[in-house]
Amino acid sequence: MRAYFNIYGLPLEINTDHPLLFKSFTEDLRFFQVKRIPPSRNTVRITLTDLPFSLNGAATPALFAPYREMVSPFSFRSASDTFVASYGRSAVTVVTRLRQRQIQAAVIPEPSLLPDPFFYYSFTEPMSLWFKQRGLFFLHAGCVTEAGAGILIVGNPRAGKSALTTSAVRGGFRFLADEQPLLSLHRGTLRAFAFPRRIRLDRSVARLFPELKELMKSNPSERLAFPIEKIWPGCLTLSCRPRLLLFPCYRPRKKLRTAPLSSSAVLKKLFRDPFFLWHRQRSLERISHLHLALLEYCARHLRGFTLEYGEEELHKIPALFRKLLSG
């Protein structure tokens, strides 16, 4: 099975013989899918393979066998232009060949690994360098907008980015991403570009949104993954100009509260973003400086706030976002 994608000018080809892996990837990248891509030296090719799980030493695909027992939870080491990464005793193993523009990824096809962390380790992590070379930088954040003014919701897993993003869209905001928008700083103008993967919500959070009731009935999984535009048609938009940075903190019974952050405090938090890497190779120094300049711009020119909230406060999020944008 093969599928083609054009992600802001970067051509991508995905190959796999495993239906579950093919479905998981194409559903998360459907926004960028095309029927074909013209021949190009810039095309990145991803090959997806299932990695049978065994505790008795059964054979694994030859390419990945040497890495079957790499350290847990994550390792990253380089040799020449080839990178090998593993996650959780090689439940996910990825080989990236930069010069050949190839990614080979293997995963135990177990539902808890799909779509994440498999998508992150086999697509987001290895692809980020090629996006950086085009001036596009991932940020671990949700992104919504109203009238072209964007809000970046920055946080670690379990901070509630997806819940806050869903609440905003339900309240009339347009959707760009709940996990990884792409940012660009060009001639002093900052823009966020959509990367609309499926929303992922735990059932405990999904039950707070009445529109998801039917979806929960038809899907017994503890973690739902669904295209947000199927629930709220017309909510997608391509880009926006960010104006706010929010750093959420979820507390089950916490009252809704925001507090402004200084530029230095914002920059300190942005430095923790997992996509901000300082490349030691001289050939990649320019990319590192561009990434740093983008984060510094965000800290200086966007207003930053901490946001504390509890699940009973989610319905107030759209009004709060509008108040912050108008301030």
The domain that holds 264 is classified in CATH as 3.40.50
Q: Are both 297 and 321 inside the same structural domain?
A: yes
Q: How many domains does the chain have?
A: 2
How far from 170 is each of 92, 147, 150, 163, CA to CA, in Å?
Answer: 34, 16, 16, 10
Q: Are both 162 and 257 inside the same structural domain?
A: yes
115 vs 25: CA distance, rounded Å: 8
Q: Are both 115 and 188 inside the same structural domain?
A: no
Q: Are both 261 and 165 inside the same structural domain?
A: yes
- pLDDT 10s digits, 136-165: 999 999 999 999 999 999 988 778 999 999
- pLDDT 10s digits, 162-176: 999 999 999 999 999
Q: Could you tell me the two tokens for 250?
A: 């979820």
- pLDDT 10s digits, 169-195: 999 999 999 999 999 999 999 999 999
The residues, any chain, with a CB within 8 Å of residue 258's CB and separated by 6 or more, are: 246, 305, 306, 307, 308, 320, 324
Host domain of residue 177: 137-326
Q: Are both 209 and 272 inside the same structural domain?
A: yes
Is the confidence at residue 202, as pLDDT, over 50?
yes
Q: Are both 157 and 113 inside the same structural domain?
A: no
Is the confidence at residue 94, as pLDDT, over 50?
yes
- Residue that finishes a domain, picked among 113, 133, 153: 133
DSSP state of 157: T
User: CA angle, 79 as apex, 92 and 181 as ends, to 5°?
Assistant: 50
Q: Are both 157 and 270 inside the same structural domain?
A: yes
Q: Are both 209 and 318 inside the same structural domain?
A: yes
DSSP β-ladder status, 149-154 and 239-250:
parallel
- Residue that finishes a domain, picked among 74, 107, 133: 133
Q: Are 228 and 286 in contact (CB under 8 A)?
A: no
DSSP β-ladder status, 102-107 and 141-146:
unpaired
Q: Could you tell me the two tokens for 229?
A: 């535009």
Q: Are 122 and 105 in contact (CB under 8 A)?
A: yes
Q: Could you tell me the two tokens for 256?
A: 């809704």
- Residue that finishes a domain, picked among 133, 149, 178: 133
Q: Are 228 and 197 in contact (CB under 8 A)?
A: no
